Amino acid sequence: MKRGNNAAIKVIIKGSHYNKEEVLDAFANLAAQNTIIPVLYKNDGEDTCFLFQNGISTVKILASSGLLLPLNDNIKLCVNLQLEHCPYTDVPVDVMKLIEKVISKRTNRRERI
């Protein structure tokens, strides 16, 4: 990851009752071959906010779909996007910890899968 790239994408979803993991999975599915790094999640009043690094390709895909994020077969979330300057000192990203956390959530240690 380039240290000079301080662009961050803030995704705002109206409402705060969405499952964080489902929304992150939807972004990962949308990104497909592109790398998108979630660095922050929070409920911001009545809205849900996600902050991503390295997600310009995903923004292009979202823009071409009318800013609709397919959550599952029946639901598409309408999102707002903001491109922001996000210094690494404000949101420190330890990519290895993020990867380790995702892998531990997605694996079954008992069955070694």
* Domains contained in the chain, CATH given: 7-108 (3.30.70.330)
pLDDT at 49 over 70: yes
Cα–chain-centroid distance for residue 33?
A: 14
Predicted structure pTM score: 0.61
Amino acid 64: pLDDT: 87
| Average pLDDT, rounded, for the chain | 74
As to burial, measured by CB atoms within 10 angstroms (0-12 exposed, 13-18 middle, 19+ buried), residue 52 is buried
What's the confidence (pLDDT) of residue 58? 77
Identify which of 33-37, 55-59, 77-81 has the greatest average pLDDT.
77-81
Q: What is the DSSP letter of 37?
A: E
Report the pLDDT value the prediction gives residue 109, as an integer from 0 to 100. Answer: 66
Which carries the bigger pLDDT value, residue 26 or residue 83? 26
